Amino acid sequence: MNNPIVLFFIHDPANPGKDEKYGASASASASATRQHRSSRHVSSHSRRDNGKKNKKHGSPTTPRDWPVSKVKKVGWVPARNIHGFCYSVLRAATRKFSKENIIGEGGFGRMYIGYINPDSMRAAKPDTGKAIAIKVLGRRGIQSDEQWQNELRFLNKSNHPNVVKLMGYCCERHHRIVVYEYMCNGSLDAHLLRELNWNRRIKIAIGVARAIAYLHNCTRPVIHRDLKSSNVLLDADFNPKLSYFGLARHGPLEDQSHVSTRILGTRGYFAPEYFTTGHLTVKADVYSFGVVLLEIFSACVAIRRCTDGTKSDLAIWAKPHLSNHLELHNIIDKKIARNINIEEAHKFASIVGQCLRSDPKDRPTMGEVLASLEQLQQDMVLSNLNTLVPFKYHRRCTHTLKS
């Protein structure tokens, strides 16, 4: 008598509803189950032995060191070329996750600076080791695990100078950690509070545009979905690198106009069509980038609570001023107003306005936005800086950044 067929599914968190279906005979399934239990029993002893060695020598873990049950629970097997850090190594690298090592904090958890030996990948002292950024997820749950897996999946595939480099991960017991290259100048939003000259702001805008254009031009476009100034990191030379891919997802296929998804991201950066319908395209990133450009131009936050208790969006407030050259003085950051040529200000405002158009079909592609910014940068080199924008400093902007 023929053995019945047993169906089982493998869930891909990045494509909910697209679970892959596989079949096997009942006898084969039972045999695989026995082998799985046997291997799990044997590996548990070896893990205890390896655990003692790891604690003693601080050696990193690899995917093959993972417990079978752990991989099954997470639902994702890491690529072999991503370095798996042992939790004890990261704990030692951050001085037991000391408060003094915290360099960032948010809804995701905390970001620490740590130091490792790049050859052995073991913990090192600050004066001898290489600095790394260690993001420890603070919340646990299905959604949190999916975002952790999502970030590793997309960053592992990315290879661009303006996308932050993935150094490794840790998935040990309940810990979910991502390890990146360390960006010594922190995030863009923090620098908008300080002195950041106009040329440097244009350089940052172009770098971010290159990163997004790279994602959108992949074989299957990648939509970042959480583009904002706090997710733009700066290295020692103020080269920007796009970070946090926890909400990223693939864009629509050629025969699709959009993908429908949960509305996730940060208010103030949402494209209107995505916020109202859940329909997602690459043009949603273009809108979010327009908000980032507006932050760069004005040093204002994307959204804030007003004195009357209501919340207001920077993009909605600024749109009328962007199209009226006489009103630009209400938007521009006074720290850079004296150093901007009037024509440059108008061109930049025009680029911002195009990105913030309500209809996604009317927005330019990221390739077109990038070309416009690069042309503006070339014009700045050739321009006559004697003609300056006659901005006044009585801005009516109510979105000023606060430290």
Span 312-323, pLDDT tens digits: 899 999 999 998
Task: Name the average pLDDT for the chain.
Answer: 80
| Cβ atoms 204, 296 nearer than 8 A | yes
pLDDT for 71 equals 36
What's the fold here for domain 87-181? Phosphorylase Kinase; domain 1 (3.30.200)
Region(s) of the chain under CATH 1.10.510.10? 188-382
The CA distance from 106 to 147, in Å, is: 15
Task: Examine the pLDDT at 345 and tell me if it is beyond 80.
Answer: yes
Query: Where on the phi/psi map is residue 141: left (φ > 0), alpha (ψ -120 to 50), or beta?
Result: left
Region(s) of the chain under CATH 3.30.200.20? 87-181
CATH 1.10.510.10 corresponds to the domain 188-382:
yes
The CA distance from 228 to 55, in Å, is: 39
**Sign of the CA dihedral running 21, 27, 30, 32:** negative
Of 34, 29, 32, residue with least CA distance to 5:
29
In this structure, the chain runs to a length of 403
More confident call, 68 vs 346: 346
Is 226 marked active-site?
A: yes
Among residues 65, 226, 285, 333, the one annotated as catalytic is 226
CA angle (112 as vertex; 109, 116 as ends), nearest 5: 140
Question: At 28, is the pLDDT very low, low, confident or very high (cuts 50, 70, 90)?
Answer: very low
The CA distance from 37 to 25, in Å, is: 18
